[in-house]
Structure 1
Amino acid sequence: MPNSRRDDFDSDITRARDLIGLGQSIGTMTNGLVDSTDLYRAALVQGIAAWDRYVHGVVLDRAVEIMLGRRPIGSVSRIGLSLNSVAELINASDPAARELAARSFFAERLTTETYQRPDDVAAALAMVGVKSIWSTAFKDARQAKVAIGVIVERRNKIVHQCDCDPVTPGTVTSLDPADATDALEVIRETVHSIDPYCK
């Protein structure tokens, strides 16, 4: 199983932080004439994308290991491969071909899933044998779930509603660099807290 999921996540979160820095620089260089707050929004969206990518990677790696008999089956949930895929896996010519096919089929299948909301993440991880991740990785599971959930909701507002303020039509909800930085730190801490249980 690849052991670089957290490394990939850390790289993605760094890219998100760079967007915040870019937004601050543009705001300073233009003396505020250019509104750079959309770069903070892009950073927040990138942060949730990094979270989603991390969870997808863990689910993919563990699903392949389960399929190849290297890890016990998780929950009774199912990922759902086509019969064609199953036949190809069974008839693979050697272990390397079987692993490559499993990784390919699961990766393709998982593209239809989104793992951002806390309960969706918990269900996905349980499916591949990581049980009760929130209560296992955090002293206060509810607080941890709320913290990431709030950021996911803001991300959804950004990508689905252009972050428009429903109370004041024609304006966007404010987002300053400190809030974006704090959101990225919550995401980073969440991944770093659950990662030891996802190996």
Structure 2
Amino acid sequence: MAVPRPDTHQFDAFTANLAYARKMVNAGKYLAPFRSPEIDVDDFYRAAWVQAVAAIDHWFHEELFHRVGLLAAKDSPDMPIQLRNFELPLNRIEAVSRCEITLSEAVVEHVRDKWGNASLQNPRKISEALILVTEKNVWQEAATQINIWHGQRTSRTDKTLKNQFFGVTDRRNKIAHDADLVDGDLKQRRTITDAEVSDAIDWIDRVALAIAHVLDV
């Protein structure tokens, strides 16, 4: 079934970044018949894999900062407890008192300081970040939503969803940090196909859609 996509600047950017990853896959498929010693087509697929994971990492950050700003500006009694208890350094409190910045801006700045350079590719770290904007079990509810989208033909749980997501990001780390070399080998790289990368990109897209749905319900 067609899944509605969030109409937000943050998700539009995510979609554009995933489209870029898909273009790299298509470039590799186009060049595959012309393989030569000068062109390693598999590197297009590896680059696409890294790009796709970067896309969802970036989306998690931007979604976090955006939602923190909205919640802090509302000062609602329904604000998640972790955000309500979020501590600001004295210099930012003083800036607010001098009307140099709003409280919402001060909170977002401090959240950026804490999470801006953090990698949001591990399910545990993602949960730690998103707890500032929701008290839901995002992985469990996202798994339930994916099962619904699949007509209950799947029975994913938070554990299986996180494990599958970790498998995608772990391969990204092998590419980015270990040149995708086979363990114990300094020349041979792991095999990779356009179908594998396309599946990983589609899976990243589905996970982001499910978590976005959970955050908005």
**TM tier, shorter chain?**
0.7 to 0.9
Question: In structure 2, do the counterparts of structure 1 residues 93 and 167 end up closer, same or farther at CA, with 3 Å as the change threshold?
Answer: closer
The answer to whether the aligner puts 1:73 opposite 2:90 as a matched pair is: no
Shift of residue 80 of structure 1? 5.7
TM-score, length-normalised on structure 1? Answer: 0.85
TM-score (norm 2): 0.79
The answer (yes or no) to whether the contact 2:24–2:47 under 8 Å persists in 1 is yes
Give 3-state SS (helix, strand or coil) of 1:68's partner: helix
1:144 aligns with 2:161: yes
Q: Which residue identity does 1:154 align to in structure 2?
A: R
Is the contact between residue 47 and residue 187 of structure 1 (CA under 8 Å) also seen in structure 2?
A: yes
Q: CA shift at 1:128, angstroms?
A: 1.8
Partner secondary structure for residue 170 of structure 2: helix
Shift of 1:125: 1.1
- The residue type equivalent to 2:82 in the other structure is V
Distance 1:14 1:130, change over 3 A: farther
Q: Report how many aligned residue pairs link the two structures.
A: 195
1:175 corresponds to which of 166, 174, 192: 192
Alpha-carbon RMSD across the aligned residues, in angstroms, is 2.4
Structure 2 CA distance for partners of 1:114 and 1:90, relative to 1, 3 Å: farther
Residue 44 in 1 paired to residue 49 in 2? Answer: yes
Matches within 5 A, 1:150-161: 150-161=167-178
Unaligned runs of 5+ in 2: 1-6, 145-155
Match of 2:179 among 145, 152, 162: 162
The one of 119, 128, 134 equivalent to 2:124 is 119
Q: Look up the match of 2:212.
A: 195
Q: How big is the shift at 1:92? A: 2.3
Per-residue deviation, residues 44-70 of structure 1 (Å, max 9, x unmatched): 111111111111112111222233234
Please say if residues 27 and 36 of structure 1, whose CA atoms lie closer than 8 Å, have aligned partners that are also in contact: yes
Q: Percent identity?
A: 22
Q: Using the alignment, how far apart are the partners of 1:151 and 1:75 within structure 2? A: 31
Q: In terms of mean alpha carbon deviation, does 105-114 or 3-12 score higher?
A: 105-114
The runs of at least 4 consecutive aligned structure 1 residues that moved more than 6 Å come to none
Aligned counterpart in structure 1 of residue 94 of structure 2, from 82, 87, 92: 87
Structure 1, unpaired ranges of 5+: none
Give, as a single letter, the amino acid of the residue that structure 1 aligns with 2:80.
Answer: G
* One-letter identity of the residue aligned with 2:128: A
1:131 aligned partner, one-letter code: K
